Amino acid sequence: MDRLAHGELNVQDQDIEELDANLAELTAAFEKASFEKVRCQDEVNRTNKTIELANRLVRGLESENLRWAQSIAQYREQEETLCGDVLLMAAFISYAGSFSKRYRRELVRSMWMPYLRNQKVPVPMTEDLEVVALLTDDATIATWNNEGLPSDKMSTENATIVSNCERWPLLIDPQLQGMKWIKNRYNSNLKVVNLGQKGYMDVLEQALGVGDTVLIENMEEMIDPVLDPLLGRNTIKKGRDGLEDQILAEVVNFERPDLEQLKSDLTKQQNHFKIELKLLEDELLTWLSAADWNFLGDTLLVKNLETTQDTAAEIETKVRKSQ
C-alpha cells in the first residue's frame, strides 16, 4: 500500500514539474509578447509624433513657400543680369556721390545704361534698376531711419554710398543731417575731431591703430596734405535734392504737429516691424540650416519654427495695418 502511494506521488510530482515547465514557457512567451507589444506601441507613438511634427512643420512653412519661390525666380533672373547690375552699382558708388539727384539719374539712365546696351556684345542689366537695391534692404534702411537718417531717396542713396565705398567719403552736409546720422549710428565708438583742434593728429593715429571710426568736422577747401591718403576722393553732396520731403515735413509739423507726430510714430513702428521681420526670417533659415538630418524628431526645432512663423505673420499683419 505504501509502495503504491509512493508511486502515485512520484507521478504527481512529475506532472507538477511538467506543469511548472509549461508555465515557465508560457510566462516567457507572454513576457516576450508583452515586450514586443510595448515596443510596437512605442514605435507607433514615435511615428504618430513624427507625423504630427511633420504636419506642423508643413503648416508652419506653408506661407514661406510663396516668398521662397519668388526669391528663387528673382535669383534666376539676376543670374542673367548680375554682371551689368554690379557694374552699374560699382560706377554709382564710385562716381555719383558728388552729383545731385537729377544728374545721378541722368548718369545712370541716359549715359551708362545706353552705353552698356550699345556695346558690340551688349551687357545685360535689370530694366529700371535701383542702383542701391543689391546693396541694402528694407530692414537696413529702417535701421538707418531709426538712427536719424531722413527717409527720402537721396539720403538713402547717400547712406548706401557711405556704407559701401572703399575710400573714406567726404560729406558736403550743410543741414548736418549726415553728421547726425553718423553720430547716432556709431555712438560712443565714434571719434570726432576738428582740424584746428589741438592734438587732432594724435587722435587720428590712435584711432587708425585700433580701428576706431573717425569723423573730421569742418573740413575746408584746402586740406592738410597729410590727410590725402586717408580721405580719398569720394564726395557726397547734400544740397537741395532730397530736401523737398523734409521741408514738407517741417511745414506739416508747423501747421499740424499732431499729423507729423502721428506720421513719425507710424514710421518708427514700421521701421521696427521691418527690422524684426527680417531678423525672424533670417532666424527661420538659420534653424532649418542648422537642423539635424532627422529634424522631424526635433520637437524644440518645430516649436521654435512655429513661434517664429506666428510672430512673423503677426508682424506682417501689423505692417499692413500701419500702412
pLDDT at 130: 86
Q: What's the grid cell of residue 280? A: 525672424
Burial of 252 (0-12, 13-18, 19+ CB in 10 A): middle
Q: Which pLDDT tens digits describe the chain residue by residue (323 residues)?
A: 556 666 666 767 677 778 778 888 888 888 888 888 888 888 888 888 888 877 877 776 776 777 788 888 888 888 889 999 999 999 999 999 889 889 999 999 999 999 999 999 999 998 888 878 888 988 899 899 999 998 888 999 999 999 998 877 888 888 888 889 999 998 888 888 887 788 888 888 788 777 788 888 887 777 777 777 666 543 344 444 555 566 556 655 656 677 667 767 777 777 777 787 777 777 777 777 776 666 666 677 777 777 777 777 777 776 666 55
10 Å Cβ neighbour count for 308?
19
pLDDT at 107: 92
pLDDT at 235: 36
pLDDT at 108: 92
d(CA 181, CA 147): 6
d(CA 113, CA 125): 8
d(CA 131, CA 177): 22
pLDDT at 121: 92
Listed in sequence order, the residues at least 6 apart from 73 whose beta carbon sits closer than 8 Å to its beta carbon are: none
The residues that bridge with 294 in the sheet, in sequence order, are: none
Structural domain spans, the chain = 70-251, 252-323
pLDDT at 111: 94
d(CA 86, CA 141): 20
Residues recorded for the chain:
323
- Name residue 98's amino acid: S
**Coil, strand or helix: which one is 120?**
coil
CA torsion 231-244-160-180 (nearest 10°) is 60
pLDDT at 118: 93
Q: Is 157:113 a contact under the CB 8 Å cutoff?
A: no
Q: Give me the architecture of the 70-251 domain, per CATH.
A: 3-Layer(aba) Sandwich (3.40)
Q: What is the DSSP string of 270-319?
A: HHHHHHHHHHHHHHHHHHHHTS-TTGGG-HHHHHHHHHHHHHHHHHHHHH
- Name residue 28's amino acid: A
pLDDT at 236: 40
Q: With 0.75 as the threshold, say if the pTM is over it.
A: no
Q: Scan for cell 510596437, then name that residue.
A: 40
